[in-house]
Chains A and B, each alone.
Chain A
């Protein structure tokens, strides 16, 4: 009987991962990606759930944390802060050339004009995609990400495959996200090693001249603001 470690992991990922992580994209079903997925979710959730519950009650009893504050923090990042913030910034930059100029020269101040800023976005740098430069953001050392404009990072951004490959094989990674770039384009990868947090200003798609800022914002995806996707024109529908 031929049973490899990869088969085992693939099976484990199908059982535990599917239950734990919800719907996966179609290519998750091949063993290669199931393997990667198994790395992300190998821990047994119930054991961790119990450990964390026990820790929380200990810390509450010792006066070290306040349950209402924990709830408020979770609510903030589940419901109030996310990629729609960044999409508003991008849409305004597309619609208003003066704002775009401010955004590229003093990103913090321009983002604050829309009411965004703070934790893990204290030092923002906005980088602009053009027909000849494609920017893409990674944190090879941990998981640095511009929270005030994009929310908390997705699992793939924090995963070993992305952190390892984004700097050495950015075009290979982009291809997996469906982005193929010619050799004439400079792929410029930003490794978030310091407290600077990067937001990609994607190229405005053709055919959007008459759109309002709100309609433009609806086209902008999280992935485009990380730099692993392009923003598609309205008729092709939103990117993932």
Chain B
């Protein structure tokens, strides 16, 4: 989706503002949103790609106005409603509807350390042939899907060189829409900054982008 989240190369967004001694969370509610989102994902009703896509679906003006954890909160609420875990009425009043079922067991504190330590690997141990190899010249396909994609706009149609094959991973473009994992190879593709941005870029500078097989064609 050519959304406002796909920011690479946009201009006039202002200076990068670094905060000294920045706390992990600026307000207690931010920590709660972070932890609630992690906990709710443990129900496995959705996957990380779907969660990212849900945040991308926030209307552009709102997306730019919202703080980071407000974006998280909005994405979480939408998915929770979509998957029937809560209703909008329940969110509005903060109380379960009369007779609504109680799920269990939720993620408990003893499950937090293994969840954090093990993570959720996106690699898949399945035999899938690599379509490209290190050293090969490739072009990022010029695609404009209306759904989720991790192929940034600024790279589409540009040529680069495959640096490294990282193995087989879940494909976000299908996974985000619950259309299957479609496992395929992910590569580091190195693009010259001049190929991406023209002569204003320094001749030696480069950008490395992780690319799935489906994003690439031979060049």
A-B pairs with the 7 shortest C-beta distances?
A140-B8, A194-B210, A54-B94, A36-B14, A73-B35, A70-B35, A164-B10
Contact B13 A123 (CB under 8 A): no
Chain B residues with Cβ below 8 Å from A78 are 24-25, 31
Q: Does B57 contact A (CB under 8 A)?
A: no
Contact B40 A191 (CB under 8 A): no
Q: Report the separation of the CA atoms of residues A223 and B20 in the bound assembly, to the nearest whole angstrom.
A: 12
Known: A54-B94, A63-B106, A168-B9. A70 touches B204 (CB 8 A): no
Q: Which of A59, A156, A191 sits near B209, CB closer than 8 Å?
A: A191
Contact A57 B107 (CB under 8 A): no
Chain A's nearest CB lies how many Å from the CB of B211? 7
Q: Report the separation of the CA atoms of residues A138 and B16 in the bound assembly, to the nearest whole angstrom.
A: 13
Q: Looking at the complex, which of A88-96, A171-179, A211-219 is the stretch in contact with chain B?
A: A171-179
Contact B73 A48 (CB under 8 A): yes
Q: Residues of A at under 8 Å CB distance from B? A: 20-25, 27-28, 32-33, 35-37, 39-43, 45, 48-49, 51-59, 61-66, 68-74, 76-78, 81-82, 117-123, 125, 138, 140-143, 151-152, 154-156, 158-168, 170-171, 173, 176-177, 183-196, 223, 240
Q: Report the separation of the CA atoms of residues A141 and B5 in the bound assembly, to the nearest whole angstrom.
A: 6
Contact B40 A64 (CB under 8 A): yes
Q: Residues of B at under 8 Å CB distance from A? A: 5-11, 13-29, 31-36, 38-40, 43, 52, 55, 64-68, 70, 73, 77, 85-86, 90-91, 94-96, 100, 102-109, 111-113, 115-123, 150-152, 154, 166, 169-170, 186, 188, 190, 193, 196-197, 201-212
Q: Report the separation of the CA atoms of residues A118 and B154 in the bound assembly, to the nearest whole angstrom.
A: 30
Chain B residues with Cβ below 8 Å from A166 are 8
Chain B's nearest CB lies how many Å from the CB of A151? 7
Chain B's nearest CB lies how many Å from the CB of A139? 9
Contact A62 B100 (CB under 8 A): yes
Chain B residues with Cβ below 8 Å from A190 are 207-208
Chain B residues with Cβ below 8 Å from A70 are 32, 35-36, 39
Contact A168 B119 (CB under 8 A): no
Q: Which of B7, B15, B33, B186 sits near A36, CB closer than 8 Å?
A: B15
In addition to A25-B20, A161-B16, 20 A-B residue pairs with Cβ atoms within 8 Å of each other are A21-B26, A24-B17, A27-B15, A59-B40, A61-B95, A64-B103, A65-B39, A66-B39, A66-B108, A74-B31, A77-B24, A82-B24, A123-B166, A123-B169, A141-B7, A160-B13, A176-B15, A177-B16, A196-B186, A196-B210
Known: A55-B77, A142-B52, A190-B208. A28 touches B150 (CB 8 A): no
8 A-B pairs (CB sep. < 8 Å): A36-B13, A58-B96, A62-B90, A63-B106, A141-B7, A168-B196, A177-B16, A195-B169
Contact A142 B16 (CB under 8 A): no
Contact A163 B7 (CB under 8 A): yes
Chain B's nearest CB lies how many Å from the CB of A168? 4
Contact B64 A39 (CB under 8 A): yes
Contact A159 B112 (CB under 8 A): no
Contact B96 A119 (CB under 8 A): no
Contact B13 A155 (CB under 8 A): no
Q: Which of A118, A158, A194 sits near B186, CB closer than 8 Å?
A: A194
Known: A43-B70, A58-B95, A160-B13. A121 touches B119 (CB 8 A): yes
Q: Report the separation of the CA atoms of residues A188 and B202 in the bound assembly, to the nearest whole angstrom.
A: 11
Q: Report the separation of the CA atoms of residues A188 and B188 in the bound assembly, to the nearest whole angstrom.
A: 12
**Closest B residue to A30 using CB positions:** B15
Q: Report the separation of the CA atoms of residues A101 and B52 in the bound assembly, to the nearest whole angstrom.
A: 34
Known: A63-B102, A164-B7. A194 touches B36 (CB 8 A): no
